[in-house]
Amino acid sequence: MSDSISEHLNACISALTARSKPLASGQVSLVGAGPGDPELLTLRAVKRIVEADVVLYDNLVGPDILSLVLPGVDCHYVGKKAAQHALPQDDVNQWLVQLAQAGKRVVRLKGGDPFIFGRGGEEMDALLAAGITVEVVPGITAAVGCAAYAGIPLTHRDWAQSVTFATGHLKQGLNELDWAGLSRPTQTVVFYMGMTAAAGIAEALMTHGRAAETPVAVIYHGTRPDQKVIIATLETLAKQISAEAIKPPALLIVGEVVRLYRPS
């Protein structure tokens, strides 16, 4: 991270510290790190990172954000990729409990927002059940950040009167989703973790009435310097993902608002 950004953050942290309580010993803070660009971190998120004794971080937390962790602080990767979990979720929950019980100031650092497909709710439940004080620091979720950086409004008076966030990675497969509801027109649907199931997602939406020519944006590494946007339709989505060799992590935005995208 550049010196100018670091200086600005330090000044902001100093101002924030003067009017907010620090992270206490034996407390866990579930911190949203945003979609990737470190400048999208909230001031509270930065403050918690630099106060931590221990940081447990996810796959989508980049090196620029991790550079805020102070030297000497224990920093552990507990991230998850498709079919690759550094640590099972139950073990992460228990580790958080044990660290807090040992009197550590613990930051659980998550990409996006802790409560939007981030398993923050599961971790909070485990901590509260153990009598641990938990704080949640919201982050900019990927749908909001990636769409904004791509210039795609998730709602628009002419095109989309609602927006729905859905996951393409479910325990029992795609049949768990309400496809009739997701296929209604005049809405935007954003699929997290949907790359490996993209063909099935497109097929299900078309089967339940969404037009084959409905535009879809695939956003890879959203808000980061290497962000890439691919525009397809439901009918061509799987073929274009294959042709462009796009791999996770990427976000799928489905809806007429995608027509407003303009390449930079």
Q: Which residues are catalytic?
A: 58, 80
In order of 49, 118, 122, 237, the CA distances from 107 in angstroms are: 7, 14, 15, 38
Distance in angstroms (rounded) separating the CA atoms of residues 106 and 129: 17
Distance in angstroms (rounded) separating the CA atoms of residues 20 and 217: 40
3 state DSSP class of 122: helix
Distance in angstroms (rounded) separating the CA atoms of residues 50 and 58: 17
Q: Give 150's contacts (C-beta < 8 A, 6+ positions apart).
A: 217, 219, 222, 227, 229, 261
In order of 94, 151, 255, the CA distances from 261 in angstroms are: 44, 6, 11
Retrieve residue 199's tokens. 């063909």
User: Which residue type occupies 62?
Assistant: G
* β-pairing verdict for 215-220 and 250-254: antiparallel
**For tokens 């037009």, what's the residue?**
211
